[in-house]
Amino acid sequence: MSREEVLEGAKELFLRYGIKSITMDDVAREMGISKKTLYQHVKNKTDLIERIIHQHIHDEKKCLSELPGQAHDAIEQVLMIAQYVVQILRGMRPTTMFDLKKYYRECWNMMEEFQHEYMYEMIRGNIEQGVKEGLYKDDLDADIIAKLYIGKTMLLTDEKLFPVGEYDRDKLFTEFIQYHLRGIVSEKGTKQLETYQPDYL
């Protein structure tokens, strides 16, 4: 069994059951390998999670980089991002992100860095594109709006504001996207957003 297969199998377990509750014994058992074989691929659970996060970020960048070429305009691009994120959230146990944030801070920092750098640039570019297309208000500060977008995205993982079990994760993100777009679309953009809503929201 390859390391990539081990990482993919472990990732599925963590998404399904959360990170804290899954042990290395569980991973080995689920993969049908011995712990000795498992430890030939990774040093320990922290190393396993770090490798999964690295791969996850790589995969996200690949998927997200393809969206601008698939979207008809800036609004549809944001909706496609939202659709992609919601699909991930639906396959993830609500506690997974909270476990990562609480028990594996270095891994969480990698996720934050991805948001603050890659996603920031993507959203900023989207805002500039939407203004040029006349779909977003023409007086927006792309830098500030992009940083607000990233900040609010990270806020959705705040367990004090949105306790696990009390809020549906994909509904939270869908509401956030509505909030984001409704605040920046122009009159022309509002009409365009309404044409997309039946398919995306």
How does residue 125 score in pLDDT terms, banded at 50, 70 and 90? Answer: very high
- 31 belongs to a structural domain: no
pLDDT for the residue 131: 98
pLDDT for the residue 91: 81
- 110 belongs to a structural domain: yes
- 26 belongs to a structural domain: no
Q: Is the pLDDT of residue 172 over 80?
A: yes
pLDDT for the residue 90: 82
pLDDT for the residue 169: 84
- 45 belongs to a structural domain: no
Say how many CA atoms lie within 13 Å of 33 toward its Cβ: 18
pLDDT for the residue 93: 82
CATH number for position 162: 1.10.357.10
- 82 belongs to a structural domain: yes
Per the model's pLDDT, the better-predicted residue between 134 and 156 turns out to be 134
- 48 belongs to a structural domain: no
Mean local confidence (pLDDT), 147-162: 90
pLDDT for the residue 170: 84
Percent of the chain at pLDDT exceeding 70? 100
Owning domain of residue 156: 53-200
- 72 belongs to a structural domain: yes
- Phi/psi for 22 (5° steps) reads -95, 125
The Cβ of residue 125 has, within 10 Å, a number of other Cβ atoms equal to 15
* b/e 16-50 (16+ beta carbons within 10 angstroms → b): ebbbeebeeeebbeebebeeeebeebbeebeebbb
Q: Which residue, 137, 111, 115, is CA-closest to 50?
A: 111
Q: What is the mean pLDDT of the chain?
A: 93
- 4 belongs to a structural domain: no
Q: Is the pLDDT of residue 39 over 80?
A: yes
pLDDT for the residue 140: 97
d(CA 73, CA 133): 8
Q: What is the pLDDT of residues 94-110, one digit of tens each?
A: 788 889 988 999 999 99
Number of domains, the chain: 1
